[in-house]
Amino acid sequence: MLLHVCALLFLVNSCLTVDLTYRIQEEKSPGTYIGDIAADTHLMDSVPLQDRRLIRFSLLEPDVADVPQLFRVSKKTGKLYTTQTLDAESLCAYNSECYRIIHLAVRRVNSFIRILKIRVIVMDINDHQPEFPNQNIDIQFSEGDWKGKKKLIPNALDKDISVPNSQITYQLQKDMNQPFTLSVSESVDETFDLRIALEERLDREVKDSYLIQVVATDGGSPPKQSVLDVRILVTDVNDNPPVFSKNVYNISVKNENYGVTPITILSASDLDAGKNRLITYHFSSKTSRTATNHFQLNKLTGEIFLQKTFASGQKLSHKLYVKATDGGSPPLSSVAIVLVNVISQQNNAPTIDVNFVSSSTENKATISEDIEVGSFMAYVKVTDHDAGNNGEVTCGLYHDKFQLEILGPKEYKVTVKSPVDREIEDQHDFTISCQDKGSPTQHTESKFSIEVIDVNDVRPQFLKETFKFWIYENQKSNFPVGYINASDPDQGPGGKLTFSLPTEKNQFLPFQITDSGLISTVISLDYEFHNIYKFPVFVEDNGIPSLNNTVRVVIQVKDKNDNPPYFIFPGINPFQMDVDYHPYHPNNITVLKASDSDSRENAFLKYNIVLGNDKQLFSINQYTGLLYFKHAITQQDAGSYILQITVKDSGIPVLSATTTLSLRLTVNNKTSEIFNTVHLKPDYQVHMYLLITVVLVAVTVSVPLTAAISICIIRCYNHRDAPLRENSSLSCKFVNEQENLVCRSQLAISWPDVPMALKTDLNVAWNSLPNRPKQTFHPADELANSPVLTTLGMKIHTAREVTYEVIFIYF
């Protein structure tokens, strides 16, 4: 039972799988060797040598008469051959793998050893070329077809079944000047639609046929191709009107009956074909009734006859408007003018006929003011049908802007003699005068008026080179500043002006300008931020081309008192300060500093003590801010004082700021006794050299010590008090009270500058003494020569200011 199951599974597996696959190209001759089945399957490897001669191979394909056998196998060797020439196109479908499955039985005598399933793939070769249904075709384009018009042509087919061999590419072969392209699009059935596309409009009158070739090439190796000849015929449309040999015919005839003889023959031609070129002639509606009564026109030949003579006094010059019309649908036509001059023996005045180049009504025409000198303005035709001298005419035009030039007998042209300017004169009148040489002379005048049309030839002009305006700060936005006055004498758009402001990225202008030239603010202006604006204003007209100009504008912002003053020193409110008073102490206490962001009178400040000075002990300089004792201080004045000090500007309205100064006053009596002792003993003589030594030692010790302490203090407050130090200036004040001289100077920051600063203060002090000659003060020398030198002291008043006080007592 197990053996039967295994055999069944083996047979099923053999039916579902392919044991061998062979490939062979189509079109090989019958009997072509395909493969050795016995060797490729290795069946003989397991068969003993003595039994191999008993192995037989045979095909299991049914022998059907209508289906020929394609392959055969050698019974003993197991080699596979073709029985006929294989054609892939007849065996298989397009774009699919072409193969045949054969079943081969391997027997040992009469028993089956194995059934083999063999697939033979027939490989397609490029044995077919692309083929068009016809070798040549004709298509038509109309000369009325627009660019992009397409005409369908047949595509080519390739019988090869493989994609590479049957894949067709198309190429258009044409001359370079042929206006056609090939449009290729793929259809849903994987075929291609070929269309000839028009690149530009055709003109049958230039060329009525074209020959191009469409080349189809397959993708085989080597590729094969075929060619389709396409002849393109251009069909006619009625796109050419008849054209006269001349636009104007001038003829002169005698006033007599010509009978069947034509006075002139008109000729017109048409480039179209067929009925589109058949021409008929007839008078247009503009031809006068008088002319049609006297002249006859043959509509087929274009012959004109004088069929009736003119009576005496009738007009002898006539315009015949002859229209030539073709037979197209719709028909096209053109018009020629026939000027007929009927010669008469009468002595008539010449007639003047003027045709202006520009538009004109009756005797009025227009020219542009940019017309060039020598430009052709009008054609003048003078008619005088009289015979002999009666018909000889001379003409003239006398004007400073225009002149009359001779073109031929009785033909003139009016040209520009000198430039015209509409802004100077917008209309010119002139007269053309003609007279014949008859006896008596006949004279004719024609008056004309020329209107000069404006062109944009004048750039906008400003009334000033610079426009200056002023405006107070803090005005609302859209506040008017002033007008920019500009003018342009041109007319129409050329005289309409548009103003604009610069739009640079790095510059913001808080202004805007209207088309009428009104400048107004965009935002409220701040004098303290920017007090003067200088910028250009650009103006251009609306002419073509546009002309422009630029003017300089200066807008000054005037200050308003909109910023209250503020205190720089003291920088905090309230500010505490200790004052140690002793006799011979200077009356000056400190200097208050304030500032105001406004300018001029709005920043002119005045100081005043408003509260805390009930004893009238203190006073302040209203202009400098110097706070000082109003009179001598006694022990009873010691104590604390809270002064409220205000600073006001001088603007309208007045703005102010207030600070509070807390003073703690200490009066030192001991110091007073020491100084009094000095004064009570005027007869006491101090040895000069000893005094000099004491002074020098005091200076030597005090200056470095004070400088070191000052440097530390200045460095600690360097960043916090930078604005105060920048705005402060070195000051030296002298107060001559009770024979005391006080001089203050800022302490130098570096050690080398300390002696120099002291030397400078001493020089100032010495030269400021009354009744002393002005000289340079050298401390080492002058102190020794001073009449009386009592003492030299130094003191630091506050942490914000380091001050030397050099006190001299001079009698």
What is the C-alpha R_g of the chain?
Answer: 62
Task: Give me the CATH code for the 243-343 domain, please.
Answer: 2.60.40.60
Quick one: which of 51, 60, 44 has its CA closest to 11? 60
User: Phi and psi (nearest 5°) for 116?
Assistant: -105, 140
CA distance 520 to 300: 78
Q: SS3 for 588?
A: strand
Name the strands in the sheet holding 55-59, side by side, starting at the edge strand that comes first in the sequence: 20-25, 111-123, 99-108, 55-59
Helix, strand and coil percent figures for the chain, each rounded to 5: 15, 40, 45
CA distance 279 to 268: 8
CATH architecture of 461-558: Sandwich (2.60)
Strand partners, 113: none
- Domain 566-675, classified CATH 3.40.1280.10, yes or no: no
CA distance 572 to 661: 9
Alpha helices, H only, 739-778: 753-768
CA distance 216 to 169: 6
Q: In sequence order, which residues have a C-beta less than 8 Å from that of residue 496 and are 6 or more positions away?
A: 488, 541, 542
CA distance 315 to 175: 62
Q: What is the 3-state secondary structure (H, E, C) of 461-529?
A: EECCCEEEEEEECCCCCCCEEEECCEECCCCHHHHCEEEECCCCCCCCCCEEECCCCEEEECCCCCCCC
Name the strands in the sheet holding 511-513, side by side, starting at the edge strand that comes first in the sequence: 480-483, 518-521, 511-513
User: Does the N-terminal peptide bond of residue 133 adopt cis geometry, omega within 30 degrees of 0?
Assistant: no
Strand partners, 232: 139, 210
CA distance 61 to 58: 9
pTM: 0.36
Strand partners, 448: 430
Instruction: Please say whether the beta carbons of 755 and 703 come within 8 A.
Output: yes
Alpha helices, H only, 590-687: 669-680
Separation of CA 413 from chain center:
48
Same topology between domain 351-453 and domain 566-675: yes
Q: SS3 for 14?
A: helix
pLDDT for 755 = 35
CA distance 135 to 203: 27
pLDDT for 689 = 54
Strand partners, 577: 663
Question: Where do the DSSP E strands lie in 603-725?
Answer: 606-611, 618-620, 626-629, 639-648, 656-667
The residues spanned by each domain of the chain are 2-123, 136-235, 243-343, 351-453, 461-558, 566-675, 685-809
Strand partners, 754: none
pLDDT for 593 = 93
Q: SS3 for 215?
A: strand
CA distance 236 to 139: 14
Question: Where do the DSSP E strands lie in 37-176?
Answer: 55-59, 71-73, 79-82, 99-108, 111-123, 136-142, 150-153, 168-173
pLDDT for 239 = 83
Torsion sign across C-alpha atoms 7, 9, 13, 15: positive
Instruction: Please say whether the beta carbons of 648 and 605 come within 8 A.
Output: yes
CA distance 38 to 21: 13
Instruction: Please say whether the beta carbons of 646 and 658 come within 8 A.
Output: yes
User: Tell me, what amino acid is at 320?
Assistant: L
Quick one: which of 720, 773, 366 has its CA closest to 572? 720
DSSP-assigned letters across all residues of 57-68: EEE-----SSS-
Which of the following CATH numbers is that of domain 351-453: 3.40.50.2000, 2.60.200.20, 3.40.50.720, 2.60.40.60? 2.60.40.60
What tokens appear for 811 in the block? 């009698």
Q: Residue 394: in which H helix or E strand, if any?
A: strand 393-397
Long-range CB contacts (< 8 A, 24+ apart) of 566-571? 566/594, 566/595, 566/596, 566/657, 567/592, 567/593, 567/594, 567/647, 567/657, 567/659, 568/593, 568/594, 568/595, 568/723, 568/724, 568/727, 569/593, 569/724, 569/800, 570/659, 570/661, 571/721, 571/724, 571/800
User: Phi and psi (nearest 5°) for 123?
Assistant: -90, 130
- Beta pairing class for 466-472 and 548-558: parallel
Instruction: Please say whether the beta carbons of 531 and 557 come within 8 A.
Output: yes
Strand partners, 441: none
Residue at token pair 């072509």: 32
pLDDT for 696 = 76
CATH architecture of 136-235: Sandwich (2.60)
CATH architecture of 2-123: Sandwich (2.60)
User: Phi and psi (nearest 5°) for 715?
Assistant: -65, -35
Average pLDDT along the chain, 811 residues, taken 10 residues at a time: 40 60 89 88 81 84 66 88 86 81 86 87 87 92 89 88 85 90 82 89 89 92 92 89 92 78 91 89 91 90 88 77 91 93 76 81 79 87 77 87 88 89 83 86 86 79 87 86 84 81 79 88 85 88 84 87 87 88 82 87 88 89 90 86 90 88 84 39 45 72 75 56 35 30 30 34 38 39 35 32 35 29
pLDDT for 64 = 55
